């Protein structure tokens, strides 16, 4: 240990509560000061992870995020304020962390985490914390950590539920614990996994799960406690209940190289559906054509902005098919056109309807091309 790694008087005072912890003390705090942690994503999960790692005294933190702060982020991404809207998340996070703890080093990488740079980004760091929200990056971060021999702190959230685990952990026998592919060998069909913008997420949930990830990271770095290696914690904020599942290791699983993760997670091409553009819909409305408009979003979305169509949420589309005309031209729309296209496929499969058209680009395209005053979300 060099003089640079030793705690100065300001740090001794700052971390006094850690130093008083049995089994943690000076040794644990110095391990944190010498530690290097890379956090992928500075969003809902990354925000609490970064705050608690910086406050705990992790000496070197890297942040990978090329996204910018939006006002819709502020409901759950507690790193940011309204003044940060429009700025790179990684840069805004770096400023906030250094304001919180000037005794640490923080690097901001405003670039995508990709196959071409993953191993290079991971190399200088001891562990990786995954705060991302898409399957290609999850598989990429897992495989890169396996190849680089780094532990990966995993977390995910959706609606009221969250998951936490520690992958690729170095066990006492010198072997590595299970990784993400032991839990999920292949990605689920994208249509079964709506994003948080469509499915929603309780604002405090990423704070809870992200704090758990920070907790696991500190345990791995200091060697205290028992990390969630080989275990998956499931948390339900609605019932405030949790359970832990064991993750068996697949002895036949071998990761040899990084692959094309976008292609790996890509679904089979969906059956095409008939479409109308927002310009064509505008003409039909101006002409007062005999058409039927169906809005296949959720009620809260309808309350933000709508085109006057009959509201039928996706979960009710098949049960309420009797409300849909079999004779006139029926145009279905959602936020982007994805859910309405899937609704059309279901209606064609179950009822053979051939008079259904999807609004290309959905209500977002309408707001951008036809009515810029319409609220976007």
Residues marked as catalytic: 196, 334
DSSP state of 103: T
SS3 19: helix
In the numeric block, the tokens 């990784």 are attached to 179
Q: Regarding beta strands 60-64 and 105-109, do their DSSP bridges make them parallel or antiparallel, or are they unpaired?
A: parallel
Torsional class of 144: left (φ above 0), alpha (ψ -120 to 50), beta (otherwise): alpha
One-letter-per-residue 3-state SS of 285-331:
HHCCCCEEEEECCCHHHHHHCCCCCEECCHHHCCCCHHHCCCCCEEE
Kind plus residue range of the DSSP H or E element containing 37: strand 36-40
By the 8 A CB rule, do 127 and 154 touch?
A: no
Kind plus residue range of the DSSP H or E element containing 31: helix 25-34
Distance CA 251, CA 258 (A): 19
By the 8 A CB rule, do 151 and 170 touch?
A: yes
SS3 113: coil
Which tokens in the block code for residue 212? Answer: 């758990």
Distance CA 136, CA 62 (A): 20
Q: How would you class 363 by CB atoms within 10 Å of its CB: exposed for 0-12, middle for 13-18, buried for 19 or more? A: buried
Distance CA 337, CA 362 (A): 4
Q: 108-145 b/e with 16+ CB inside 10 Å = b? A: bbbeebebeebeebbeebbbbbbbbbbbbbbbbbbbbb
């Amino acid at each position: 240990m060099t003089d640079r790694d030793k705690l100065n008087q300001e740090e001794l005072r700052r971390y006094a509560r850690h130093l008083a912890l049995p089994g943690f003390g000076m040794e644990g705090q110095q391990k944190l000061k010498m530690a290097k942690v890379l956090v992928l994503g500075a969003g809902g999960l990354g925000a609490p992870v970064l705050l608690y790692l910086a406050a705990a005294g992790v000496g070197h933190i890297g942040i990978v995020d090329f996204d910018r702060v939006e006002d819709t982020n502020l409901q759950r991404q507690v790193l940011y304020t309204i003044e940060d809207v429009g700025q790179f998340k990684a840069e805004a996070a770096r400023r906030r962390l250094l304001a919180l703890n000037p005794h640490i080093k923080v690097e901001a990488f405003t670039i995508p985490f990709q196959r071409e740079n993953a191993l290079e980004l991971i190399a200088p760091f001891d562990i990786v914390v995954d705060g991302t929200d898409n399957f290609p990056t999850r598989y990429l971060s897992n495989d890169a950590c396996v190849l680089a021999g780094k532990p990966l702190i995993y977390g995910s959230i959706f609606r009221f539920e969250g998951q936490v685990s520690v992958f690729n952990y170095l066990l006492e026998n010198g072997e590595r614990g299970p990784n993400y592919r032991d839990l999920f060998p292949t990605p689920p069909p994208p249509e079964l996994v709506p994003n948080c913008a469509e499915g929603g997420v309780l604002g405090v949930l990423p704070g809870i799960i992200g704090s758990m990830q920070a907790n696991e990271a500190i345990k791995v770095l200091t060697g205290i406690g028992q990390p969630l290696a080989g275990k998956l914690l499931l948390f339900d904020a609605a019932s405030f209940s949790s359970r832990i599942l064991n993750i068996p290791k697949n002895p036949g699983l071998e990761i040899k190289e990084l692959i094309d993760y976008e292609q790996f997670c890509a679904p089979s091409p969906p059956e095409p559906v008939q479409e109308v553009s927002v310009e064509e819909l505008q003409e039909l409305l101006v002409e007062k054509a005999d058409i039927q408009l169906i809005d296949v979003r959720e009620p809260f979305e309808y309350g933000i902005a709508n085109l006057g169509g009959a509201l039928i949420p996706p979960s009710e589309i098949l049960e309420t098919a009797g409300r849909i005309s079999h004779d006139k031209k029926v145009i279905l729309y959602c936020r982007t056109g994805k859910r309405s296209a899937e609704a059309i496929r279901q209606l064609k499969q179950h009822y053979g309807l051939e008079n259904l058209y999807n609004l290309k680009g959905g209500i977002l395209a309408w707001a951008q091309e036809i009515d810029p005053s319409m609220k976007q979300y």
